[in-house]
């Protein structure tokens, strides 16, 4: 395996499957199958998942919610998704620890980089919920922060497209995919790899970002094995 320790960032919206909201059990099961495959290969795996299938703080603010209140609601949504992931992974025979940047006792343990690292060494999948524990930060930023904290080899951003393109391929059919980019190139071309806070954190801490299609079964294992899938962003 090319990567020994990974931070996998998943979108909450991905769990909806073909539904309009919430969690689709079939989609959840397929995702967890792929995660179990890499764990069985000995890859130390931490996961951060968003909450957009339940509630998005920024969207709530646009609809009249107080931004701080909305962000905390979004953080709670990530806890719900993380619990769903935990349950399905345990069902498939994997040991899981659920940590959180937001104190949700007794459902989660408090997040710390040292604790997460120790659990990873012991063979647990570590799911990190609750964002950064603070409003005004996205789960992209939380995943960058957690990736740096646990000394991950790479931040894997699982999306519904197969990499970073010159434009949104769902809107611009002629858009072309990049196989590899530097952080500076992605910034200069204004490519939306992650939000700027997350992107800068990865750049400053030399944490590569690999954007790939998580919706194709088997892709996660291929990425971790070093196959040329998706778009790799490095220094």
- The confidence band for 143, taking pLDDT boundaries of 50, 70 and 90, is very high
pTM of the model: 0.95
pLDDT tens-digit series, residues 18-45? 898 899 999 999 999 999 999 999 999 9
In this structure, the number of other CB atoms found within 10 A of the CB of residue 55 comes to 21
For residue 62, pLDDT beyond 80: no
- The confidence band for 192, taking pLDDT boundaries of 50, 70 and 90, is confident
- Percent pLDDT > 70 in the chain is 98
Query: Is the bond leading into 106 cis (omega within 30 degrees of zero)?
Result: yes
Give me the mean pLDDT over the 83-104 stretch. Answer: 97
The CA angle 107-91-217, to the nearest 5 degrees, is 110
DSSP-derived 3-state class of residue 159: strand
Pairing of strands 5-10, 209-213: unpaired
Give me the mean pLDDT over the 86-107 stretch. Answer: 97
Domain positions in the chain are 5-234
Judged on CB neighbours under 10 Å (0-12, 13-18, 19+), 42 is: exposed
What residue has token string 């073909």? 18
pLDDT tens-digit series, residues 149-174? 999 999 999 998 899 999 988 899 99
The domain 5-234 having CATH identifier 3.40.1160.10: the answer here is: yes
Q: State residue 57's pLDDT score.
A: 64
- The confidence band for 147, taking pLDDT boundaries of 50, 70 and 90, is very high
Instruction: Give me the phi and psi of 155, to 5 degrees please.
Output: -100, 115
Alpha-helical (H) ranges within 92-182 are 113-121, 139-149
Least confident range of 2-6, 20-24, 93-97, 222-226:
20-24
What residue has token string 């949504």? 77
- The confidence band for 198, taking pLDDT boundaries of 50, 70 and 90, is very high
The 8-class DSSP code of residue 38 comes to: H
Least confident range of 47-61, 112-126, 142-156, 191-205:
47-61
**In this structure, what token pair is assigned to residue 224?**
């971790």
């Amino acid at each position: 395996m090319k990567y020994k320790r990974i931070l996998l960032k998943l979108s909450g919206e991905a769990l909806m499957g073909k539904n309009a909201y919430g969690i689709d059990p079939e989609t959840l099961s397929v995702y967890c199958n792929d995660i179990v495959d890499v764990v069985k290969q000995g890859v130390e795996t931490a996961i951060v998942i968003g909450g957009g299938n339940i509630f998005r703080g920024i969207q709530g603010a646009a609809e009249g919610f107080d931004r701080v209140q909305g962000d905390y609601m979004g953080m709670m949504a990530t806890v719900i998704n993380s619990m769903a992931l935990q349950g399905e992974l345990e069902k498939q025979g994997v040991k899981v620890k659920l940590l959180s940047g937001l104190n949700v006792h007794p459902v989660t343990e408090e997040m710390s980089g040292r604790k997460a690292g120790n659990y990873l060494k012991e063979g647990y999948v570590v799911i990190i919920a609750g964002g950064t524990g603070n409003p005004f930060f996205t789960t992209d930023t939380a995943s960058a922060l957690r990736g740096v904290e646990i000394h991950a080899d790479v931040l894997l951003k699982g999306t519904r497209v197969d990499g970073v393109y010159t434009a949104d391929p769902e809107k611009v059919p002629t858009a072309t995919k990049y196989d590899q980019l530097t952080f500076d190139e992605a910034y200069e071309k204004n490519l939306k790899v992650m939000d700027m806070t997350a992107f800068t954190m990865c750049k400053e801490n030399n944490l590569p970002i690999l954007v790939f299609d998580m919706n194709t079964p088997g892709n996660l294992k291929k990425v971790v094995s070093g196959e040329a899938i998706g778009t790799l962003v490095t220094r």
